[in-house]
Chain A
Amino acid sequence: MVIHPVFNLTMKHIVIIGNGISGVTAARHIRKNSDYQITIISSETRHFFSRTALMYVYMGHLKFEHTKPYEDFFWKKNRIDLVFDHVVKVNAERQQVDLKSGNTLHYDALVIASGSRSNKFGWPGQDLVGVQGLYSYNDLVLMEGNTKAIKHAVLVGGGLIGIEMAEMLLTRGIRVTFLVREPEFWSSVLPMEEARLITNHIRSHHVDLKLTTELREIISDHEGKVKAVKTEKNEIIECQFVGLAVGVSPNIEFLSDSGIRTNNGVLVDSYLQTNIPNVYAIGDCVERTYQLPGRKNIEQVWYTGRMMGEVVAQTICGTPSKYEPGPWFNSAKFLDIEYQTYGTVSNVLSPAEDDFYWEHHGQKKAIHFVWNKDSKKFLGVNTFGIRLRHEYFDRWLRQKKDIQFVIAHLQEANFDPEFFERHENEIANAFYQKYPSFKAA
């Protein structure tokens, strides 16, 4: 049974910890729906920036100021107070947060949106100079310094941050060796076909991609700087930089004595409320205590953070709303290959599922459909080098369309620019060739 939170009508001051996409979305929506006093605290940067764009600053595509989605006057104009400080402690009982500067802020409702931090798994040498992850603005500054005039870098961990770091380093003419535990790149998430496509693409950019390879230790020179890494296979690779891109975990250490319940992340109910009334958590730092079908309890993605911000604002402003994201979607770019996914495509098919994979010969394009074997219900799609319309796939997934419908209507869902080569007929023909029974039906 769901008990709706009770609201204190005199509630005035909303304090948000963290100025990432989650916290800022919450603030914007609270402002639209109320006159509450809003304060955002961050010790990372004074103003909100797009974390996903940090790589472009390093690569010289953008300047840092270009990553700010709102001009600096926006905050004052919308009466959102920004505090550039670090939260050292939350005192839930007295409804206040203690800041590093010694200041204290009283809140009527608190939103924890403190994000993640990069994982380190206790490797020897992981704290040497020249070893780092990439998550925050500080990491970017650090990486700028750590990679000055170096020749060779080693990256550990085959995920989205790893491939970003590889792309970044390549633009500086730095040789990259990439250690990936899985048999193909990101095959913990992508089915083998796609993983192989990306693996080949990475190699075509002259990255020395070492698959099924794990890090054993990082070796120091006499100044405490990284000199080389040693793999589990005892191979020694000389390098002047090590990028640790082995995932992130909720950044919640500062909550340890607060009375707010945490596990790996801050534990929240379906209203994104913690065990303490009027204390909410959103974004990367959240661990849901309830299940959503086909989804993990910690989801560290831009979009989920944004959606939680939207929902928590409704709740705080008097319309209690559950966090119920629609069908899963995500996107990324692997060097030159754009990737989008809608619905659920697991790396390994379940026995109840069937799939169809199409890859273009010559161009780096592919598409992968998954559906339920019995009901024919369409479950998800991965697409590479072909843009698809989110709106259409979201609708089809909600309406539980079958796979034939999706194949037949694929043309409408194409989102590529004008004059781009279209492949829907080719895909449909290949599909019917493999599954002739669908054609009859």
Chain B
Amino acid sequence: MKILKITGLLLFVAGFFVFNASFFWADYRLTENAVKKSIHDEQKQALFLTEASAILDRPVSSNFEFIHYVSEIFETINEKQLTKYAITEDELDRLAKLSEATFSIANVDSVFRTSNETSSFKNKVFKDFGGSLESRTFSSPEELHTELKNVSAKVRDYAIINRAGFDRYAQKDIKYSLAKASAESPVRNNPLLYLLLTFGLCIIGAALYILPKIKESKGIKNNNIFFHPMKNVGWLGILTGTWLIVFYVILYFFPEYMTNWIIMVDPISEMLNGHEAGRFFLYGFIYTLCILVMGVRMIIHYRHSKYQIFRTLSVMFFQTAFAFLIPEFLIRLNKPYFDFKNIWPLDYSFFFDFRLDQLRESGALGIFMLGWGIALIIIAVPVFVYFFGKRWYCSWVCGCGGLAETLGDPYRQLSDKSLKAWKIERWMVHGVLAFAIVMTAAVLYTYWTKSSWFLIVDSYSLREVYGSFIGAAFAGVIGTGFYPLMGNRVWCRFGCPLAAYLGLIQRFKSRFRITTNGGQCISCGNCSTYCEMGIDVRWYAQRGQNIVRSSCVGCGVCSAVCPRGVLNLEVKDEEGRFGKPILIGNNNAKLDV
């Protein structure tokens, strides 16, 4: 048994090592084809090819070097375009001289003639950015000159690189696409072999490590958790957390470096949806594997409890079918990518213009999807929370919850139980909910009115800020990266706006509560310690009070770890839900203390 475990561990470490090594294991040879595939504008293509001649068809030995070269090319092009298209002092003077006290935009045509390409470009952008000066009267030539300079500055900042060069969004996409198309690696030559040497070894290793536990007796086995370097923020936990954080930062912000990993899952992606893999296909693939493998561990660990077994099977099913396979098949069928169990505002882009347009353009299925998504928000959430508590979603269906309950289970004891943490949690999670609502309202306002200015903010910046700070940094980098540092529900507890919404209903209108068993509590603290949401369960249990908390995801682990059978998740009549504390067994005591 011990040998199996050690073998498993070694295999896992080997697979993990190959996976990490393969990140670096490629040469990059830039070809004309790759450039043509990645840059669609022909002029820009040509510009790029001219500047790239130095590395064209020559192997570069690492992703860092390759991306560095490509970045330099972009910079060179951008600088050249800035010089080429910048409006000169001289041109401004001429323009000023032509103008009287009242400015006329027609004067632009005299300074920038449309006969040559450069001047024609300047003509257009000046009109775009200086249009508001038309017919304005200036008290002095200096004032006019200042205004003209402002226009010239705007042109420099917003127009030249966007139109004639490569802005940061375009750079991001092209870098990724070029890196993926240019990689020459053992992984590219034999993706299936590497799939086996990485994920394959890890899965087999994990299985060998996990499965022997089935021979131990059933029941709670939390032995030595707080002595374990992985589970008590020891060196292994810190290392794991760091790795996860780095992984997420690369995934969300620097995907161009991880193309070798993505190439590995190309065959699977092609098999499922008919296209080569993108970064989020890789992510979904890893995510699903983690839930499945660690789900098996979860089931073995809690196999004395049918509640835990069913709940874990449920999250494994919803992740595999709803989050992973069905959306991929939809793409294969040329339908919109759609995760039928993802609910706004967790799915914060549900009401974004491109998604609404895509659904509207997809016929009856698209309209059904739109209706389904809205029905989940306004019908399913309140109704199901009323009857079952928010657990129906958070610990039975949700993907984030699914990962937290499987991959994250070994870290549940690390959540902060202090009163202070609870205060911070309430401000944060409801703050994010408010942010999500305002951001979505702004986006919809823009969608209908075509005006990007919503009250006091620009809806595009608002959604960008939400996307990178909440969607990527909070939900991803912190949400999962902090598992080994702050427990497995950091996102769900402090950040998830859907959890906040579900929680409000659970707190005020639901049949769900955790009941306590008379006077049997011995205040041992197992329930509070193993509550992943950081609820001080014992506080209620030791005074015989129902636990009615908006954050409770109903994982049932407090009940499972209680050595005295004190806690139970129950749904029953609302009456008496907010009962006064009562400890049974003593005739002469007033107990509302």
> Which interface residue of A71, A306, A323 has the most chain B CB atoms within 10 A?
A306
Least Cβ–Cβ distance between B8 and chain A, in angstroms: 20
Q: Is A321 an interface residue (CB 8 A)?
A: yes
Q: Is B559 an interface residue (CB 8 A)?
A: yes
**Cβ B563 vs Cβ A338 within 8 A:** yes
Least Cβ–Cβ distance between B256 and chain A, in angstroms: 43
Which of B176-184, B451-459, B512-520 makes up part of the contact surface?
B512-520
Which of A56-64, A123-131, A250-258, A278-286 makes up part of the contact surface?
A56-64
Closest to A50 in B: B523
A76-118, CB < 8 A from B:
none
Q: Which of B418, B517, B519, B528 contacts A303 (CB 8 A)?
A: B519
**Cβ A310 vs Cβ B589 within 8 A:** yes
Q: Annotate B550-593 by CB proximity to A: 1 below 8 A, 0 otherwise.
A: 00000010011101110011000000000000011111111101
A403-441, CB < 8 A from B:
415-421
Q: A340-B520, A417-B305, A417-B556 are in contact. Are A326 and B585 (CB under 8 A)?
A: yes
Q: Annotate A287-323 by CB proximity to B: 1 below 8 A, 0 otherwise.
A: 0000000000000001100110011001000000111
Q: Which of A52, A60, A302, A394 contacts B225 (CB 8 A)?
A: A60
Q: Is A387 an interface residue (CB 8 A)?
A: yes
Q: Which residues of B contact A211 (CB under 8 A)?
A: none
Q: Is B31 an interface residue (CB 8 A)?
A: no
Q: Is B115 an interface residue (CB 8 A)?
A: no
A31-59, CB < 8 A from B:
32, 50, 52-53, 56, 59
**Cβ A171 vs Cβ B223 within 8 A:** yes
Q: Is B98 an interface residue (CB 8 A)?
A: no
**Cβ A331 vs Cβ B584 within 8 A:** no
Least Cβ–Cβ distance between A414 and chain B, in angstroms: 10
Q: Which of A29, A67, A387 contacts B525 (CB 8 A)?
A: A67
Q: Is A69 an interface residue (CB 8 A)?
A: yes
Q: Which residues of B contact A335 (CB under 8 A)?
A: 217, 219
**Cβ B224 vs Cβ A336 within 8 A:** no
Q: Is B286 an interface residue (CB 8 A)?
A: no
Q: Which residues of A contact B565 (CB under 8 A)?
A: 331, 338, 340, 387-388, 415
> How far does the alpha carbon of A323 sit from the alpha carbon of B188 in the complex, in Å?
79
Least Cβ–Cβ distance between A307 and chain B, in angstroms: 4
Q: Which residues of A contact B419 (CB under 8 A)?
A: 71
**Cβ B529 vs Cβ A310 within 8 A:** no
Q: A310-B591, A322-B588, A390-B518 are in contact. Are A66 and B525 (CB under 8 A)?
A: yes
**Cβ B226 vs Cβ A60 within 8 A:** yes
> How far does the alpha carbon of A335 sit from the alpha carbon of B218 in the complex, in Å?
10
Q: Is A205 an interface residue (CB 8 A)?
A: yes
Q: A50-B522, A71-B419 are in contact. Are A311 and B307 (CB under 8 A)?
A: no
**Cβ A29 vs Cβ B593 within 8 A:** yes
> How far does the alpha carbon of A307 sit from the alpha carbon of B556 in the complex, in Å?
29
> How far does the alpha carbon of A37 sit from the alpha carbon of B83 in the complex, in Å?
81
Q: Is A267 an interface residue (CB 8 A)?
A: no
Q: Is B222 an interface residue (CB 8 A)?
A: yes
**Cβ B525 vs Cβ A60 within 8 A:** no
Total chain A interface residues with beta-carbon distance under 8 A: 56
Q: Annotate A320-342 by CB proximity to B: 1 below 8 A, 0 otherwise.
A: 01111111010111011010100
Least Cβ–Cβ distance between B70 and chain A, in angstroms: 50
Q: A60-B225, A415-B565 are in contact. Are A394 and B593 (CB under 8 A)?
A: no
Q: Annotate B199-243 by CB proximity to A: 1 below 8 A, 0 otherwise.
A: 000000000000000000111101111111000000000000000
Closest to A302 in B: B522
Q: Which of B306, B529, B584 contacts A420 (CB 8 A)?
A: B306
Q: Is B310 an interface residue (CB 8 A)?
A: yes
Q: Is B412 an interface residue (CB 8 A)?
A: no
Q: Which residues of B contact A333 (CB under 8 A)?
A: 563-564
Q: Is A8 an interface residue (CB 8 A)?
A: no
Q: Is A374 an interface residue (CB 8 A)?
A: no
Q: Which residues of A contact B226 (CB under 8 A)?
A: 60-63
Q: Which residues of B contact A311 (CB under 8 A)?
A: 586, 588-589
Least Cβ–Cβ distance between A389 and chain B, in angstroms: 6
Q: Which of A56, A310, A323 contacts B526 (CB 8 A)?
A: A56
Q: Is A15 an interface residue (CB 8 A)?
A: no
Q: Is A21 an interface residue (CB 8 A)?
A: yes
B501-545, CB < 8 A from A:
517-520, 522-526, 528-529, 538-539, 542
Q: Is A223 an interface residue (CB 8 A)?
A: no
Q: Which of A60, A205, A325, A417 contacts B587 (CB 8 A)?
A: A325
Q: Which of A62, A204, A419 contacts B307 (CB 8 A)?
A: A419
Least Cβ–Cβ distance between A51 and chain B, in angstroms: 9
Q: Which of B418, B583, B587 contacts A324 (CB 8 A)?
A: B587
Q: Which residues of A contact B220 (CB under 8 A)?
A: 336
Q: Which residues of A contact B228 (CB under 8 A)?
A: 60
> Which interface residue of A53, A67, A306, A417 has the most chain B CB atoms within 10 A?
A417
Q: A390-B518, A421-B306 are in contact. Are A325 and B529 (CB under 8 A)?
A: no
Q: Which residues of B contact A331 (CB under 8 A)?
A: 520, 522, 564-565
Q: Which of B222, B227, B585 contacts A394 (CB 8 A)?
A: B585
**Cβ A67 vs Cβ B586 within 8 A:** no
> How far does the alpha carbon of A331 sit from the alpha carbon of B519 in the complex, in Å?
10
Q: Which residues of B contact A21 (CB under 8 A)?
A: 523
Q: Which residues of B contact A66 (CB under 8 A)?
A: 525, 528-529
Q: Annotate A161-181 by CB proximity to B: 1 below 8 A, 0 otherwise.
A: 000000000010000000000
Q: Annotate A369-391 by CB proximity to B: 1 below 8 A, 0 otherwise.
A: 00000000000000000011111
Q: A338-B565, A390-B585 are in contact. Are A60 and B224 (CB under 8 A)?
A: yes
Q: Which residues of A contact B593 (CB under 8 A)?
A: 28-29, 32, 310
Q: Which residues of A contact B518 (CB under 8 A)?
A: 329, 389-391, 394
> How far does the alpha carbon of A335 sit from the alpha carbon of B419 in the complex, in Å?
33
**Cβ B568 vs Cβ A387 within 8 A:** yes
**Cβ B589 vs Cβ A329 within 8 A:** no
> How far does the alpha carbon of A63 sit from the alpha carbon of B224 in the complex, in Å?
10
Q: Which of A60, A61, A204, A325 contacts B586 (CB 8 A)?
A: A325
**Cβ A419 vs Cβ B306 within 8 A:** yes
**Cβ A321 vs Cβ B307 within 8 A:** no
**Cβ A336 vs Cβ B218 within 8 A:** yes
Q: Which residues of B contact A306 (CB under 8 A)?
A: 519, 583
Q: Which residues of B contact A205 (CB under 8 A)?
A: 217
**Cβ A53 vs Cβ B524 within 8 A:** yes
**Cβ A329 vs Cβ B524 within 8 A:** no
Q: A60-B225, A421-B306 are in contact. Are A204 and B217 (CB under 8 A)?
A: yes
Q: Which residues of B contact A390 (CB under 8 A)?
A: 517-520, 584-585
**Cβ A321 vs Cβ B517 within 8 A:** no
Closest to B223 in A: A171
Least Cβ–Cβ distance between B562 and chain A, in angstroms: 9
**Cβ A69 vs Cβ B523 within 8 A:** yes
Least Cβ–Cβ distance between A26 and chain B, in angstroms: 11
> How far does the alpha carbon of A329 sit from the alpha carbon of B565 in the complex, in Å?
13
Q: A52-B522, A333-B564 are in contact. Are A326 and B559 (CB under 8 A)?
A: no
Q: Which residues of B contact A416 (CB under 8 A)?
A: 568
**Cβ B222 vs Cβ A321 within 8 A:** no
Q: Which residues of B contact A387 (CB under 8 A)?
A: 517, 565, 568
**Cβ A60 vs Cβ B223 within 8 A:** yes
Q: Which residues of B contact A71 (CB under 8 A)?
A: 418-419
Closest to A48 in B: B523
> How far does the alpha carbon of A56 sit from the alpha carbon of B562 in the complex, in Å?
12
Least Cβ–Cβ distance between B419 and chain A, in angstroms: 6
B binding-site residues for A, Cβ under 8 Å = 217-220, 222-228, 304-307, 309-310, 418-419, 517-520, 522-526, 528-529, 538-539, 542, 556, 559-561, 563-565, 568-569, 583-591, 593
Give me 15 A-to-B residue pairs in the complex whose CB atoms sit less than 8 angstroms apart, sorted by A's number: A29-B593, A50-B522, A50-B524, A61-B226, A69-B523, A310-B593, A329-B519, A329-B584, A333-B563, A387-B565, A390-B519, A417-B306, A417-B307, A419-B306, A419-B310
4 shortest A-B CB distances, which residue pairs? A390-B518, A336-B219, A387-B565, A53-B524
Instruction: List 7 additional contacts besides A59-B224, A391-B517, A419-B307; criterion CB under 8 Å.
Output: A69-B523, A69-B538, A325-B585, A326-B585, A326-B587, A336-B217, A336-B219
